[in-house]
Structure 1
Amino acid sequence: MNSIARGASALILFVSLGPAQAGAQLREGSIAPETRACAPGAAGPAARVRIQGFKNRQGGLLVRLYGDRREDFLRAGRKLKRIELRVPARGEVDVCIALPGVRRYAIAVLHDVNGDLKFSASSDGVGFSNNPKLGLGEPALSKVLFTARPGIQTIPIILNYRRGLGLRPLAGDR
């Protein structure tokens, strides 16, 4: 299997979604079941994932947290946490993730535009911690790892959508 096919398979595996999380609060500014972990005075460690560059405000979001092992990154059943919610109609999109400890992690985000619970290269967007440049394959784990610190840190993620032969942010978003 060539590297493009292997990368496309990994992205498709990454975006296989389950049913959307029931009852997730969608408030302007900060959303997700773990919002309290990013509240003022929270001890952390926590990541406030700031998702930017939406093509539109339709569908759902899937945010996955991975550890620092290459064999686990983007593999089914190997995530540390998974948060699913609908894309809010307006406002900034911050998703809080309580981190298990101070160490290295990777975050992957899918914007499932059509809500079909499958990756569609023609419409869906993806993004990763550290905002690596994407082609058709998955990014190297070393390019998306960040080191969690005590407290709360903001992790900006810019979504990438299919443009030509690769995935890139929409104009002006990088």
Structure 2
Amino acid sequence: MLKKSALTLMLLPLLGAAAHAGALGPDAAACSAGSAKDAVLLTVDGFRNREGTLRVELWPGTEADFLRNHHELVAEGKAYHRVTVPVPQSGPAQVCVPLPGPGTYALGAFHSPSGVRKFNWRRDGATFTRNPRVGLSKPKVEDVAVTYGHGVSKDSVTLNYLRGLAFRPIPKDRLDSNNRD
């Protein structure tokens, strides 16, 4: 019979894999236990509703490259990645975003209830890493950039929607009831 500590050591990799089993996106394996890849497991919460798609984008963490056209970034060999997934039917979304390596990056998350990639500021949700105040102009890179190391890093953000004259998170008591776990 195995001792309790030996059994725990044997099960630990399986428990780690289960913790990331809910990761969404085509690169979800990069966030699984034992992966040798660099990635961010981004938890996105605060969905107004459960319709449409969630898009997560990664840019270099520099003022010159943040929110720049992805075609230009890719042509110049700079970091850029996009992951688009259906909005989960309940709870937060955990999206795995591969990184080209350790470094400073900015991530944005965008909820489109209609599933259209072009941002509609009147009804779509948006946020960035470090959860800055979101307005009608782009945030400063120093308010959103995060330095990630080797392996899988974890981060979390809360979506903002237009409410009155400002973008703010939806109060928890007004979120879709499927949003609360």
Assess same fold via TM > 0.5. Answer: yes
Q: Deviations over 1:126-172 (max 9, x none)?
A: 01011011222111001101111122111101100001212111114
| Paired residue secondary structure (2:114) | coil
Matching of residues 129-168 of structure 1 within 5 Å? 129-168=129-168
Separation in structure 2 between the aligned mates of residue 171 and residue 102 of structure 1, nearest angstrom: 35
Does structure 1 retain, via aligned residues, the 8 Å contact 2:134–2:168? Answer: yes
Give secondary structure in 1 for the equivalent of 2:23.
coil
Gaps (5+ residues) in structure 1? 1-27
- Aligned partners of 2:172 and 2:137: how far apart in 1? 23
Instruction: Quote the offset at 1:69 in angstroms.
Output: 2.3
Runs of 4+ in 1 over 3 A off after TM superposition: none
Alpha-carbon deviations, 1:103-129, whole Å to 9, x = none? 100001110112233222221000101
Unaligned runs of 5+ in 2: 1-20, 74-78, 174-181
Greater C-alpha radius of gyration: 2
User: TM (normalized to structure 2)?
Assistant: 0.75
TM-score (norm 1): 0.78
Give the whole-Å Cα distance in 1 for the aligned partners of 2:22 and 2:94: 6
What residue is the counterpart of 1:123 in the other structure?
123
**Superposition CA RMSD, Å:** 1.7
Matched letter for residue 39 of structure 1? S
What is the CA distance between 1:98 and its match in structure 2?
1.5
Amino acid in structure 1 at the alignment position of 2:101: G
Cα distance in 1, alignment partners of residues 56 and 102 from structure 2:
19
Q: 1:57 aligns with which of 50, 55, 79?
A: 50
Deviates more, 1:79-88 or 1:94-103: 79-88
Aligned residue for 1:87? 87
Identical positions, percent: 37
Deviations 1:16-58 (A, max 9, x none): xxxxxxxxxxxx8221011011101223321001000000110
Q: Which amino acid aligns with 2:118?
A: K
